[in-house]
Structure 1
Amino acid sequence: MPDFLQPTRLRESLPVLLAGLALLCLVGGGLLYIAEYPQLAAKAWFIGGAAVLVVLVIDILRALLNGRMGVDAIAALSIGVGLALDENLAAAIVAVMYAGGQLLESFAEGRARRDMTALLGRVSRTAMLYRGTSLESVSIEALKPQDRILVRKGEVVPVDGRLLAATAVLDLSALTGESLPVPIAIGAEVPSGATVLGDAFDLLVLRESKESTYAGIVRLVEQAQASRAPMARLADRYALVFLGITLLLAGGAWWWSGEATRALAVLVVATPCPLILAVPVAVIAGMSRAASHGVLVKTAGALEALAAVTTVVVDKTGTVTSARPEVSDVRAEAGFTADDVLALAASLDQASSHVAAEALVRAATARGLTLTLPQSVVEDPGRGLSGRVGDRQIVLGGSGYVLTKLSDGSAFTRAGVDSGTAVVAVGIDGHAAGLILLSDPIRTDAGATIAAFRAGGVRRIVMASGDRTDVAEKASSTLALDAVAGDLTPEGKVDLIRQEKLGGVVMMVGDGVNDAPALALADVGVAIGARGSAASSEAADVVLLADDLSRLPLACGIARRSRKIARQSAVAGLVLSGGAMVLAALGYLAPVQGALLQEVIDVAVILNALRALRG
């Protein structure tokens, strides 16, 4: 079967084919009429109108089966009545107007989706896998954690991994909207979907392809493109009211004047409703613009909710603080040195995707320590991991976890370590080797983000944390927050969201698995990061692809502007269409004049809706 006859291609090309046929029949009929073949001209116009009518009726029946009814019925009535009254020219103009409007809407939506759709064409299919000392091209589905692959210059990183080279330069624009090349240091995590700008490098695979960052983004984009906005669904309900008013006005004009053409003129000028055209274009344009700034809005409904946010609840770790821990101190036990403890722990952590792992690798690299690839790594999620580094057996994690793995009954010295300090305990060859202390500084963009939220109309900002209340209050002391809630379990965060929702539309911002229930309950849940397997990203309505909180107030502004433009376009279109319908009912507009006027109105509201792509 030829490519253009494939079902998917046929559906995509139908608006073009239908508009082309309708226009050909209209123009061809006009030429025949000028050549003094009025009967042939009438037949050409009839064919154009009838072809569009058949497609219209099929679409209306399909919508009815799905429980929806739109103003497409008005277009079908106007064409059908025109053909029945032998007003073939008017029917043909309506057919061209309708088919052209559908083509214009299709083009507008395609233009609006461009930034989101661009993400879907960057999925790598193969990777260069090390087999001993040789390289083999394999499908990305065959890659497993701990595999070592080569990523060459110009290639798209196929899966999430940890950089094994000294440095790498990446283009992250497709993931985060960051326009400048980003240098990555050894030991840092490299997200799938990034493009390699510098030299080739080796990568240690951290996750399977289906769980990678880019796979998660693709799933979110597909979900976003399939959604419909509540405002668009509301438009379907308004369509029934508009259809009733149109029929009443058309029937009244016919009864009052006794002229069926007046009823036809009313039907023609009401086809189609600008509300249906303007809303989806403006909403999709807003989603696309937000995506271009690294904020992926998963559903059209989430964009509308984003525009109405009055309260923001932010998680502490990863939101107010950087969630990029830094090694503040290494305390070695007797018989071990600080450099030995850090080098061996960082070597093992090269195989971990835990947020603390990168901090250890980064600190060891900064000290010039030599790192060795680990072997036989076993990770106990949320507790710790163990494995061999050279000829040493290493275990690290929480001190309680590590102590259960030690064979000599030794303990860690915690004198002078604050109870609120994050600690990685390290065991070497069955002995307590030392503690690595971590700090989590306030994000540099937190203050500016809070100020931007205030400027955008957010009335209340609350920080929620699972840490002790005194620790949470100390961390946020420099920020202009309205309240701080500490000692919160996941259930406690849910209760907090439920309470805050009594006072307005609530946005919850978080990045951990424990934030997922609260993200799901909030009017708008925002997850930091787009890792496909993260529960927070699955539960959230919005995913911040870039590690830049300042983009959230920007996304709220984009959402508010898109909603304003959608409403503006819909109201203006309805007012203009309503006025034209009254003129047609009074006999001041003939069917052909009404059709041309309505086409101008439809084009105007779609072009206005596309303004949501700019500014």
Structure 2
Amino acid sequence: MAAVGLAAGLGLWAADQTALATAAWVAGVLPVLAALCIEIVRSLLKGEVGLDIVAALSMAAALLVGEALAAAVVALMYSGGTFLESFAEGRARREMRDLLSRVARTATRHRNGQLEEIPLDAIDAGDLLLIRQGEVAPVDGTVEAMQAMLDQSALTGEALPVRLSRGMAVMSGSTNAGAAFDLRATARAADSTYSGIVRLVETAQRSKAPMARLADRYALLFLAVTVALAGAAWWFTGDPIRAVAVLVVATPCPLILAVPVALVAGLSRAARFGVLIKGAKPLEAMARIKTLIVDKTGTLTDGRPGIVSITGTGALSEDEVLYFAASLDQASQHPVAQAVVAAARARGQTLPVPTDVIETAGEGVAGRVGDRDVLVGGTGFVAAQTGPEAPGVEEPGAVIVAVAVDGRAAGHLVMADALRPGIPALLQALRRNGIDRIVLATGDRHDVAEALTLGLGLDGVKADLTPDRKVQIVVDARKTGPVMMVGDGVNDAPALAAADVGVAMGARGAAASAEAADVVLLVDDLGRLLPGLIIARGARRIALQSVAAGIGLSVAGMIAAALGYLTPVQGAVMQEIIDVAVILNALRALRIDPGRPMIEADERVRPMERRAA
């Protein structure tokens, strides 16, 4: 309506119909002014004083002094600015909108030898679902085929499809990039990874940044300065037109638009890299972090045992020791046994089905692999049946798995929860990007924590911690500046909530850590923290640059108008140009590239991303 009124008035003015032109301009201004006044009243009733008051004053004053054309330009500027803000936020939210649009509505389930289409709410844990090529996994589950090829880019940011074998976990929201396969549901749709992510995204979209609140907080000051300058121009010159020109140039669209556009763009950009920030407030807080506190298990480490070394004590090679141990451990559900099986399969070993298996809970397993008798378990369990053997190398926090074949000691496996690949390089890169202090806070034993972090250059190692003591460490650290806490377990949730920014590893289901955290790394890879940090700092910097440039130009224009160098129409056009420039600058947050700093920090950080694929 503002655009039509302005265009019609210009056409009539060109046809020398001055009175009709003025009427057209007024007709275009009044709807915008009325809507703006309604918004101002609503804000005042809530106890908020917004910067929109300046825009309303400029339009009303221009109409009162007969500057209808200037009022029409301001009306178009304000309504156009609102439209541009909506357009820019829509552009910035595109990645999140794409994430939400991928929610499946129905699923195909195997039932009594036939396939049936069912709504998502009807899926139960244990159901066998068919996932066709191009379809999205509707719930969390495990692969029931020999293998499956999945595109997890919408969830984790990994560009390459991931190949999963039978029994491996599938995150809901992953797209089938290969042949159709069967998925065994392990959770209901409402409890699955993707539903949790969608809930976090919806929360993020409803947030309001503290910088935006800061703009509203100083609205009265900006309004007072504007009215004082306009009044001074009128008082000293006796010309009300100069006061109107000051009000027109002072319309504070740069401060209103720049902050939300830049920060929402930052949220969208971070989501593209697998970092889901729950709102503009934690994004801005993340940009100011100086102290990082990290948990150990599942954060610096994988959180599950892996083979550190294999030693053969007889005629068998390391691969043969692993082969016999893994073959027999297929019959056990113990986490250590499953880790041994996974390690053997990762080396490409084909494992036969064991027979005559007898498991002694918590001690070990006995059985036959082919025509060989095999024992796998603790050193005491195996030694009791084969006789003493040379002790393995003891390491803090390590588990020794002994292996015997045909009644003779064959070797042992050293199992431990080792550091994730690239952690030293990642910590160095974080320090290069503004983190001054890094502290480990873990509930594990102190000797294990010290041995694991040796050489990492941490500023402190706090071990043997209960959840409440973790909270106290976070609270104490906040006295010296903003603190970020990273963890993955339920015991980390209180500390995550206490920190300025809590970061959870992974977003599976409704885990307490993910619910309490401000930021969720959508793939269990601590390396994603670096791009998230870089994007947060970049988005905040761009927001501040946009505000400073926009308000600086507006103030310069106000002074020029007060001195008589700008007419109201010229001031309105100038402010429109400033608005467009500010919005375009804020959208630069969509192009923040955190990849280069990761590579420059240390090439060893890159294997963490390849590992996730």
Residues 89 and 592 in structure 1, CA contact (< 8 A), matched pair in contact too: yes
Cα distance change, pair 265–423 in 1 and its aligned pair in 2 (3 A): farther
What are the residue-to-residue correspondences of 1:435-584 with 2, within 5 Å? 438-584=415-561
Q: How do 1:335-346 residues align onto structure 2 when only pairs under 5 Å count?
A: 342-346=329-333
Q: In the alignment, is the contact (CA less than 8 A) between 1:465 and 1:488 conserved in 2?
A: yes
1:161 to 110, 123, 141: 141
Deviations 1:286-337 (CA, angstroms, capped at 9, x unpaired): 11111111111112111111111111111111111122433679xxxxxxx9
Deviations 1:266-302 (A, max 9, x none): 1111113411211111111111111111111112111
> Which position in structure 1 is the counterpart of 2:71?
91
Q: What SS class does the counterpart of residue 526 from structure 2 fall into?
A: coil
In the alignment, what sits opposite 1:297? Answer: 277
CA deviation profile, 1:118-151 (whole Å, cap 9, x unmatched): 1110001111112132222111111111222111
Q: Secondary structure at the match of 1:345?
A: coil
Deviation at 1:594, TM superposition (A): 0.7
In the TM superposition, what is the alpha-carbon distance from 1:196 to its structure 2 partner? 0.4
> How many Å apart are 1:394 and its aligned residue?
9.2
The 5 Å alignment of 1:112-261 reads 112-261=92-241
Which secondary structure state, in structure 1, belongs to the residue aligned with residue 486 of structure 2? strand
Once residues 173 and 558 of structure 2 are traced to their aligned partners in structure 1, the CA distance between those partners, rounded to angstroms, is 52
Displacement of 1:173 after TM fit?
0.7
Q: Deviations over 1:161-185 (max 9, x none)?
A: 1112221111111001111111112
Per-residue deviation at 1:155? 0.4
Stretch deviating more after TM superposition (445-454 or 318-327): 318-327
> Residues 391 and 342 of structure 1: is their aligned pair in 2 closer, same or farther, counting only changes over 3 Å?
closer
SS at match of 2:218: helix
> Helix, strand or coil: the match of 1:165?
coil
Q: CA deviation at 1:84?
A: 2.4
**8 Å Cα contact 2:55-2:251 kept in structure 1:** yes
Q: Which blocks of at least 5 consecutive residues in structure 1 are unaligned?
A: 1-20, 330-336, 350-354, 373-389, 401-411, 425-434
* Equivalent residues of 2:325, 2:340 under 8 A apart: no
- Counterpart in the other structure of 1:13: none
**Considering only aligned residues, what root-mean-square deviation do their CA atoms show, in Å?**
2.9
Partner amino acid, structure 1, of 2:329: L
After superposition, what is the alpha-carbon deviation per residue over 1:412-447, rounded to whole angstroms, capped at 9, x for unaligned?
9662797944699xxxxxxxxxx9985322100211
Name the SS of the counterpart of 1:141 in structure 2: helix
In 1, the alpha carbon distance for the partners of 2:280 and 2:456 equals 32
CA distance in 1, matches of 2:147, 2:400: 28
Distance 1:252 1:238, change over 3 A: same
Partner in structure 2 of residue 6 of structure 1: none
Which residue identity does 1:297 align to in structure 2? I
Aligned mates of 1:237, 1:145 — CA distance in 2: 50
Residue 271 and residue 423 in structure 1: after superposition, are their counterparts in 2 closer, same or farther (change >3 A)?
farther
Tell me how far apart the structure 2 counterparts of residues 65 and 153 of structure 1 sit (CA, whole Å): 54
Greater alpha carbon shift after TM alignment, 55-64 vs 191-200: 55-64
TM-score (norm 2): 0.83
Tell whether the 8 Å contact from 1:445 to 1:549 is kept in structure 2 after alignment.
no
| In structure 1, C-alpha distance between the alignment counterparts of 2:187 and 2:69, rounded to whole Å | 63
Structure 2: distance between partners of 1:393 and 1:86:
97
**Structure 2 vs 1, CA of residues 472 and 598 (structure 1 numbering), >3 Å: closer, same or farther?**
same
1:87–1:339 Cα change, 3 Å: closer
Contact 2:378 2:400 in 1 (8 A): no
The partner residue of 2:36 within 56, 59, 64 is 56
How far apart are the structure 2 equivalents of 1:422 and 1:255?
85
Segments of 5+ residues of structure 2 without an aligned counterpart are 311-323, 365-376, 381-390, 402-411, 593-613
Higher alpha-carbon deviation: 305-314 or 58-67: 58-67
- 1:57 corresponds to which letter in structure 2? C
Report if the CA contact (8 A) 1:52-1:95 is conserved. Answer: yes
Is 1:588 paired with 2:565?
A: yes
